[in-house]
């Protein structure tokens, strides 16, 4: 089929990008990476993009395809057109696929981004089993199958950067570790061989760089090509932290309770009231810079009318609370 790839081009850092269109005639099953290869080999050798395994293993080829971050070697022309048809039923007539680099990272050239911040954040969560655990005098450190299973989901991460690219918290808070790093952090917390769980949890508890800075937007879960579900991993760390905090004095607990109360009232979180109720009037200046960046980046709606179905939301929360109450050992109680 005949398609157009509209690719964002940028010859070097800090200059304005431009879109350039390329026509291709390819079968629907052609991956986006093969389309890029065809353009580079047959039409324009100056096009820059990353690739390696061509098989969703190395994580190199993540880019933005029609607005969402994905692996170019996993998505194909047919599936992209189907996605476009959900928005425009006529999209298959003369398909145009928009290709751009990952977001939240500076562009080096065309589809190649500078991932230094991504790697630095990963390093900051110390993603390796503690040395204490490695000092085994006589035999290797054994794990039961159940203990090993705890590591499977987070172990699937291929460090592609798709989650980081979509993360709303990363977009407004340069200190936030990011979903990839915190998913890896949970992998370390869950590892039965690690000896630094308390210290780690203390680090991940930080309100700007740690788990509490996540806005729970779900974007990381929805784009991750390996089903790592970073937001779920962040929630597991939160549960561990909540088990260890004093519920009467801790801001984190207040944060959680305020969130639930606001959702009960209006069906969603009014972030303006949320900030005041959690921080208190005297401390709200601490988060003013973050609030301002959210507002100027279009991440903070200006009005918060109650959503439809609020009564249903209230009823669901009540049922969940009843269930939690009846479960004596639930960590998020
Ligand atoms: S968590 Fe998923 S999206 Fe994020 S870097 Fe790992 S594989 Fe990629
Ligand atoms: S759920 Fe949290 S970590 Fe995931 S993309 Fe949203 S803000 Fe980022
Ligand atoms: S080229 Fe390795 S994941 Fe796409």
pLDDT of res. 39: 98
| Ligand 1 atom 5, closest CA | 159
Place domain 115-244 in its CATH homologous superfamily: Alpha-helical ferredoxin (1.10.1060.10)
Closest atom of ligand 3 relative to the 62 alpha carbon: 4
pLDDT of residue 329 exceeding 70 = no
Cβ of 11 closer than 6 Å to ligand 3, yes or no, is no
pLDDT of residue 35 exceeding 90 = yes
- Name the band, by pLDDT with cuts 50, 70 and 90, for residue 333: very low
Question: What is the mean pLDDT of the segment spanning 133-147?
Answer: 77
* H or E element in which residue 133 lies: helix 131-134
* H or E element in which residue 98 lies: strand 96-100
Q: Is the Cβ–Cβ distance between 96 and 152 less than 8 Å?
A: no
Q: Which of 101, 102, 120 is nearest to 111 (CA)?
A: 101
Which two tokens mark 262?
Answer: 């606001």
| Ligand 2 atom 6, closest CA | 217
Q: Which residue has the higher pLDDT, 295 or 187?
A: 187
Ligand 1 center from residue 228 Cα (angstroms): 7
* H or E element in which residue 155 lies: helix 152-155
pLDDT of res. 285: 81
| Ligand 1 atom 3, closest CA | 224
What does the alpha-carbon distance between residue 259 and residue 252 come to, in Å, rounded to a whole number? 11
pLDDT of residue 125 exceeding 60 = yes
Q: 3-class DSSP state for residue 161?
A: coil
Closest atom of ligand 1 relative to the 160 alpha carbon: 8
What does the alpha-carbon distance between residue 8 and residue 264 come to, in Å, rounded to a whole number? 43
Residue 188 CB contacts under 8 Å (≥ 6 apart), including other chains:
125, 126, 127, 128, 129, 194, 196, 200
Distances (CA, A) of 298 to 6, 168, 221, 292, 305: 25, 11, 22, 10, 17
What does the alpha-carbon distance between residue 208 and residue 182 come to, in Å, rounded to a whole number? 13
β-pairing verdict for 2-9 and 96-100: parallel
Distance, CA of 307 to chain centre:
25
Q: Is the Cβ–Cβ distance between 222 and 251 less than 8 Å?
A: no
The vertex-70 CA angle with 65 and 72, nearest 5°, equals 75
pLDDT of residue 328 exceeding 60 = no
- Name the band, by pLDDT with cuts 50, 70 and 90, for residue 331: very low
Q: 3-class DSSP state for residue 62?
A: strand
Ligand 3 center from residue 74 Cα (angstroms): 8
What does the alpha-carbon distance between residue 253 and residue 246 come to, in Å, rounded to a whole number? 8
Cβ of 278 closer than 6 Å to ligand 2, yes or no, is no
Q: Pick one of 3.40.50.2300, 2.40.128.720, 3.40.640.10, 3.10.20.30 as the CATH number of 2-112.
A: 3.10.20.30
pLDDT of residue 273 exceeding 60 = yes
Distance, CA of 294 to chain centre:
17
Every domain of the chain and the residues it spans:
2-112, 115-244, 246-333
Residue-averaged pLDDT of the chain: 90
Question: What is the mean pLDDT of the segment spanning 28-49?
Answer: 97
What does the alpha-carbon distance between residue 28 and residue 12 come to, in Å, rounded to a whole number? 32
Closest atom of ligand 1 relative to the 161 alpha carbon: 5
Q: Is 175 exposed, middle or buried (0-12, 13-18, 19+ CB in 10 A)?
A: middle
């Amino acid at each position: 089929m005949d398609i157009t790839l509209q690719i964002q081009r940028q010859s070097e850092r800090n200059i304005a990008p431009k879109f350039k269109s390329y026509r291709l005639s390819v079968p629907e099953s052609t991956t986006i990476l093969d389309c890029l290869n065809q353009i580079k080999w047959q039409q324009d050798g100056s096009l820059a993009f990353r690739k390696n395994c061509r098989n969703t293993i190395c994580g190199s080829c993540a880019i933005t395809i029609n607005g969402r971050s994905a692996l170019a070697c996993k998505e194909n022309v047919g599936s992209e057109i189907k996605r476009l048809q959900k928005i425009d039923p006529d999209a298959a007539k003369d398909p145009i696929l928009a290709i751009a680099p990952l977001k939240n990272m500076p562009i080096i050239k065309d589809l190649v981004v500078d991932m230094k911040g991504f790697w630095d954040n990963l390093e900051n969560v110390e993603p390796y089993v503690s040395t204490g655990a490695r000092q085994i005098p006589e035999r290797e450190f054994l794990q039961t199958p159940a203990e090993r299973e705890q590591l499977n989901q987070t172990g699937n991460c291929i460090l592609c950067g798709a989650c980081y690219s979509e993360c709303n918290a990363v977009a407004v808070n340069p200190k936030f570790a990011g979903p990839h790093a915190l998913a890896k952090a949970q992998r370390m917390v869950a590892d039965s061989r690690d000896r630094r769980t308390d210290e780690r949890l203390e680090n991940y508890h930080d309100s700007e760089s740690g788990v509490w800075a996540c806005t729970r937007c779900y974007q990381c879960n929805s784009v991750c090509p390996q089903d790592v579900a970073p937001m779920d991993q962040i929630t597991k760390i939160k549960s561990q932290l909540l088990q260890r905090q004093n519920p009467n004095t801790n801001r984190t607990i207040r944060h959680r309770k305020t969130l639930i109360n606001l959702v009960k009232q209006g069906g969603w979180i009014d972030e303006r009231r949320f900030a005041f109720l959690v921080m208190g009037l005297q401390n709200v200046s601490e988060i003013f810079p973050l609030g301002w960046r959210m507002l100027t980046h279009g991440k903070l709606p200006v009005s918060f009318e109650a959503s439809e179905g609020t009564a249903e939301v209230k009823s669901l929360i009540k049922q969940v609370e009843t269930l939690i109450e009846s479960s004596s050992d639930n960590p998020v109680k």
